[in-house]
Amino acid sequence: MDPPNPQFSDLATASAPDADHTSAAPPNTISADEIALYDRQIRLWGMKAQEKIRSANILLITMKALANEIAKNLVLAGIGSLTILDPDAVTPADLGAQFLLSEETTPLGTNRAAAASAALQRLNPRVRIHVDTVPVQLKPPSFFAPFDIVIATDLDSPTLNIINTATRLHNRPFYAANSHGLYGFLFADLIEHTFSITRARSNVPTPLGPEPRSRTCSVLAVHPKPGEEDRTEIVTKRELYSTWYLASGASQLPADILRSNRRRRVVTPLLSCFRALWEFSSLQSDPATALLGTPSPPASTLPHTDNKAHLALFTRLCGEQHKALGLPAETLRSELLRSFLQHVSSSSNHHNHNNHTPNPNSNGLAGTPTAAGTSTSELAPVAAVLGGQLAQDVINVLGGTQPPLQNFVIFDGDAMDGPMFALHPEGELGKGLLVSAVPVEAVDSVGGSGVVV
């Protein structure tokens, strides 16, 4: 797990929105041209939802194949504004993986975000596209305040922890996603999200309060649908979330899974592999725990298959995480570990030449490499599935008419399966988690900043 970052001493003070990321908002009402353009989706999720979507200001961090898919879907849906942040330059690997770039129009060395912005603008000229080339680690916490939703892709676990801390303190929904060859994950911290669903009325009244067998979902209100009072009801619910810091390492599987031997046996062991990867990344990024011979800062925080110490540590972490999750030892097979490591190691090897190292003495978020631990072994089908699912969830959250992702999706391209798991720590969730997640003594140990994650 990633330790709380001591560089957040100024997080409690929010500054005015960055002028570079705010521009004139679209008119409050949708024009006739927009109604014609978005007719199919307005029929699907309604005019009110489309109005919320068209006013959304979204930040997307790291412009690679996965982010290409996310950006495409959000822009075509008609969001108000998209800021794409990436300090890195286009490489030959990017040209082979990203459909927003082409060899004919994108010279090598061009900034990735700037290169993708032109194609995104052509997809939907109504959406305002902003480009930011400053490493996210150099951004002050107030940078995230103007955005309605923050999406971070292809970043290592410590960096995700840092960004999520900032979004929490500004009450902004946060998504994280990554792909390594055939494997990938999605994560959501929506803090507390309220939505309404329309469904057929039952003979049994829907009770208010926490839903049975759920720690995260509560029914807030039930109303008959106007004009269909006798057969349809509108149910308003609220989902509670936990931070990346806690959900990625200190969380447990839901009790209904742990109570069933059959259900525990079918939990994908990729969950253990990813949790081990996140822990490995955190250990490697910390000079106090990095393996001997690791440069500081490391070129990558991912394990290499040609490094015996990496293999031994990662294998041990996988076993520990599998046991901590309460999963049967026999479901963690050596063939899966070998395949997972091959995809992850390929990701690490391809990207080592393309890192930026921010100044650790700056007032930004952290002193870690911009793209440490990112993946360039990108497969278009995997990026399309993960990117499409994440973008759809963002649209659902903005519209507020569908249940959201809760809170992890683990994608297995070998099995073409992407189960969702609600992984949360014991104790309070939602907004209350921010002040109860870390003991007072842990806060004091990181410089007394008063910041917890």
Q: Which of 9-18, 135-144, 285-294, 367-376 has the lowest mean pLDDT?
A: 9-18
CATH, residue 107: 3.40.50.720
* Burial annotation 419-435 (CB, 10 A radius, 16+ → b, else e): eebbbbbeeebbeebbe
Where does the pLDDT of residue 144 fall: very low under 50, low under 70, confident under 90, or very high at 90 and above?
Answer: very high
Q: Is residue 69 situated within a structural domain?
A: yes
Asked if the structure places residue 315 within a domain, the reply is: yes
Starting from the edge strand earliest in sequence, which strands make up the sheet with 57-61, in order?
128-132, 81-85, 57-61, 149-153, 174-180, 183-189, 408-412, 420-421
Mean pLDDT, residues 289-297 taken together: 50
Same-domain check for residues 135 and 93 = yes
Look at residue 153 and give its three-state secondary structure.
strand
* Residue 150 and residue 24 in one domain: yes
Judgement on whether residues 70 and 175 belong to the same structural domain of the protein: yes
The residue segments making up the domain with residue 213 are 193-240
Residue 143 lies in a domain: yes
Q: Same structural domain for residues 369 and 393? A: no
> How many residues appear in the chain?
453
The per-residue pLDDT for 297 is: 43
pLDDT higher than threshold 50 for residue 181: yes
The reply to whether 225 and 276 lie within a common domain is: no
Higher pLDDT, 295 or 214: 214
213 and 160 within one domain: no
Residues 276 and 180 in one domain: no
pLDDT at position 37, please?
A: 81
In angstroms, the first-to-last Cα distance of the chain is 11
Q: Does residue 10 sit within a domain?
A: no
In a shared domain, residues 223 and 160: no
Same domain? For 269 and 338 the reply is yes
* The total number of structural domains that make up the chain: 3
Measured distance CA(339)–CA(356) in Å, rounded? 29
- CA-to-CA distance for 333 and 186, rounded, in angstroms? 23
pTM summary value: 0.83
Average pLDDT (162-186) is 96
Residues 390-400 have pLDDT tens digits of 999 999 999 99
Q: Are residues 197 and 179 in the same domain?
A: no
Q: What is the mean pLDDT of residues 98-114?
A: 87
The answer, yes or no, to whether residue 439 has pLDDT greater than 80, is no
Cis amide prior to 425 (ω within 30 degrees)? no
189-239, pLDDT tens digit by residue? 999 999 999 999 988 999 999 998 899 999 999 999 999 988 999 999 999
Question: When comparing pLDDT for 240 and 14, which is higher?
Answer: 240
Confirm if 377 and 180 have CB atoms less than 8 A apart. Answer: yes
Residues 309 and 352 in one domain: yes
Is residue 177 located within the same domain as residue 236? no
